[in-house]
Structure 1
Amino acid sequence: MGQLLSHPLTEKTIAYNQYDHISAHTHKAHLLHRSKNTDSKEPERTPQFFNCVGSMQGYRLTQEDAHLVANCDTALDIKFYDPFKECEENLVMSLFGVFDGHGGGECSQYVSSDHNHNEGICKWIKLAFESHEYGAFGSHEKLSKVHKRKFRTIEGLICQVLKDAFLMQDRELYCHFANESCGSTGILAVIINGEMLYVANTGDSRCVLSTKGRGVKTLSYDHKPQHIGELVRINDDGGTVSLGRVGGVLALSRAFGDFQFKTSVSYTNSATGSATQRYVAPAQEAQVTVEPDVLPHRICYERDEFLVLACDGIWDLYSNKNLVQFIKYHLTLGLKFDEIVTKLLDHGISSADSNTGVGFDNMTIIIVALNQQGDSLAHWYGKMKIRLEREKGLIA
């Protein structure tokens, strides 16, 4: 394995987002503000949700993974109508996503692309939030206003809006990859105004949350063809599952792209459903659907510590609990995110087993610190080190 570890395909790409440029900018602006107002007691504001992305092609012929980080100066600014409050709100969204492509990296690269929020899933999330037509039960809106659907909670409404964004993204992908066999999973963590976390998942990439007291909260569930709910949908749409794969080919049951398994879905506006036409199924009922599961979580900064998002190349090697323990162990030793991610990827490639195939996949991971607004990265590291040492009984 020593020779394999020096192979160019095992070279790692690490992006450690400490947002130093923003810290310097906000510090300068803060000093200028204080010089104009000597009585100001406003604390200096620092970036939030420091993160590190690590990826490695491994022994695959191509790198088909992609990722998305839209945070701090690249976060989404969205105008959202809240039917529960009956007013328009300004939302700031931080997005972290991992997209594991298969059959090529075209779909994963397309979904993760973000050019001023005018491409990829960012574009559709912004559009879905700003143009939704959902209402709220018990609101005092005009009776003449027509809603596509009404919800009892804002969390339920936002979960549906995120599902809409995934479906709209898949419709756009059809315009480019209708005759291609490529596809991609998607795990996306959306943090709104630093308060609410929504995790949307389609496929078998995964997101977990580390909490105080050795807690590990699962925020996504793998979509596998043999799971009963997935199996029923596949069979109802005329598909089959053999050897744990849809049509004996695809090892997951939800994904962007993979339009060869979505032939019953119409992606044009011309379908009328007449008797002379073939059966047209909703996109949610296709053999392989893009519709994600969405789990909401209200962030508690006293308990919640960090998020981990990763593709199945990582989860093939670690259970949810073991991966969080690996990260916490190295945080206790004083290592930073970039060093921990490097060790994770090195351990993954060194565990490659030709008998099982484990360790041969592309690997991508994102670790996101859940630091409060105003906390520096150094403060978060220090707080975590003390907490973990106490949990291990190393200090009183």
Structure 2
Amino acid sequence: MGQLLSHPLTEKTIDYNDYQHRVSPQLSTLVPRFYNCVGSMQGYRLTQEDAHLVLNEESIMQVKFYNPFKETTQKLILSVFAVFDGHGGEDCSNFISGGGSNPKNGLAKWISYSFENHKYGAWKGDGPVNNSNGQRKFRTLQGLISQVIKDAFLLQDNELYKYFFNSSCGSTAIVTIIINGEYMYVANCGDSRCILSSKGNGVKTMSFDHKPQHIGELIRINDNGGTVSLGRVGGVLALSRAFGDFQFKRGVTYSYAKNKPKFHNVTHNGNTPAQESQVTAEPDVVMHKIDYKKDEFLILACDGIWDVYSNKQLCKFVKFHLTAGVKLDGIVTKMLDHGIAQANSSTGVGFDNMTVIIIALNKSGESLSDWYTKMKIRLEREKGLI
């Protein structure tokens, strides 16, 4: 393994967003700020097909959102963290992430658009769920926001079709949106994953992998004329939800208005709704209200990381090093080094691209140093060291 570890493809890119260079002391109280660290490594793949997105602090997203339950328009502040695991090339994942030059393009653009332009209503126990104008009504605000996020994913896939309809590239997505520093929505499309670490060795699964052999996925694939062999859609694709991969989205009609700057949503006058294609971009969405007394940090990562670590193992890995006083950038570096060291040519484990984001769930106004101290004392108490 010594020769492999010295290979240039194992070089890591670490973005440690500690925001220590910011000069505005009021920013952390006016705008939610979550310290984070992003680490990525190409590994032994020929190309790096992962991409990521961080909209936080100065790049945070602010949207105007109509709340039909209160019948008012509110300003929402969205912190967005995402990992995109491409396949068949890097084009799809880079496009969705905004390409680096403008991070508020790509999926971020459609998240903003969906929050500001939704036409959903509130169902308050009177009348049908869908009114005469076809407006869909929701019983809860959480359900409405979850649908808004799903709309953003389908709009992004619709835009991708214009550029990649004749390409075999695609990408998974694991996206965390924290609204006003209070509510967390995790949207998953594919087999990347998100977990939440809480006080007392708690590990909450915030997403569920979309694999073709899972019964709900298998039924949808079969209903659209597809097959699953060797755990792959059509014997090719090892996941059942993704952006792109239009060869597996038969009968879905995509539309683009030439005279308008925005794309229409997927139309349903084709044979197949976009949500029912063999491989769909519709995500599952899990909501969680943040409890700053208990919740500690989030981990988002592509399947290259989860091939090596289980949910509990990765959480323990981070906590072990926090107890030892290691900072987030050091933890991410060790995580990637350990992952590549597990490379096994028989199983393929450890040979994939690896990308991970650790997000500290610090309270408003809490410095990174305070968060480290709090975590170290808490973990030492849990281990009986103090």
In the alignment, which of 153, 159, 179 is matched to residue 146 of structure 2? 159
Tell me what 1:37 maps to.
none
In the alignment, which of 96, 110, 135 is matched to residue 121 of structure 2? 135
Letter in structure 2 aligned against 1:209 = L
The whole-number CA distance in structure 1 between the counterparts of 2:81 and 2:36 is 9
Q: Would you say the 8 A contact 2:304–2:350 is kept in 1?
A: yes
TM-score by length of 1: 0.91
The whole-number CA distance in structure 2 between the counterparts of 1:294 and 1:181 is 26
**Cα separation, partners in 2 of 1:45 and 1:388, compared to 1, 3 Å:** farther
Q: Would you say the 8 A contact 1:254–1:288 is kept in 2?
A: yes
The whole-number CA distance in structure 2 between the counterparts of 1:6 and 1:92 is 43
Residue 306 of structure 1, CA deviation: 0.1
Letter in structure 2 aligned against 1:102 = H
Tell me what 2:315 maps to.
324
Structure having the higher Rg: 1
In the alignment, which of 43, 49, 71 is matched to residue 86 of structure 1? 71
**Cα separation, partners in 2 of 1:169 and 1:373, compared to 1, 3 Å:** same
Note the residue ranges of structure 2 that are not aligned, 5 or more in a row: 258-265
Tell me what 1:382 maps to.
373
The whole-number CA distance in structure 2 between the counterparts of 1:68 and 1:351 is 27
Q: Would you say the 8 A contact 1:84–1:139 is kept in 2?
A: no
Letter in structure 1 aligned against 2:143 = G
Tell me what 1:263 maps to.
250
Tell me what 2:173 maps to.
186
Tell me what 2:41 maps to.
56
Note the residue ranges of structure 1 that are not aligned, 5 or more in a row: 31-42
Tell me what 1:204 maps to.
191
Deviations 1:300-333 (A, max 9, x none): 0000000000000000001101000000000000
The whole-number CA distance in structure 1 between the counterparts of 2:216 and 2:82 is 25
Q: Would you say the 8 A contact 1:46–1:376 is kept in 2?
A: no
In the alignment, which of 189, 199, 206 is matched to residue 219 of structure 1? 206
Residue 144 of structure 1, CA deviation: 9.1
The whole-number CA distance in structure 2 between the counterparts of 1:272 and 1:48 is 38
Q: Would you say the 8 A contact 2:50–2:85 is kept in 1?
A: yes
**Cα separation, partners in 2 of 1:77 and 1:253, compared to 1, 3 Å:** same
The whole-number CA distance in structure 1 between the counterparts of 2:153 and 2:49 is 19
Tell me what 2:16 maps to.
16
TM-score by length of 2: 0.93
Q: Would you say the 8 A contact 1:49–1:370 is kept in 2?
A: yes
Tell me what 1:394 maps to.
385
The whole-number CA distance in structure 2 between the counterparts of 1:140 and 1:124 is 32
Letter in structure 1 aligned against 2:59 = T
**Cα separation, partners in 2 of 1:357 and 1:76, compared to 1, 3 Å:** same
**Cα separation, partners in 2 of 1:289 and 1:333, compared to 1, 3 Å:** same
Letter in structure 2 aligned against 1:10 = T
The whole-number CA distance in structure 2 between the counterparts of 1:217 and 1:345 is 22
Structure-to-structure mapping, 1:337-348, within 5 angstroms: 337-348=328-339
SS at match of 2:21: helix
**Cα separation, partners in 2 of 1:99 and 1:144, compared to 1, 3 Å:** closer
Letter in structure 2 aligned against 1:229 = G
Count of aligned pairs between the two proteins: 375
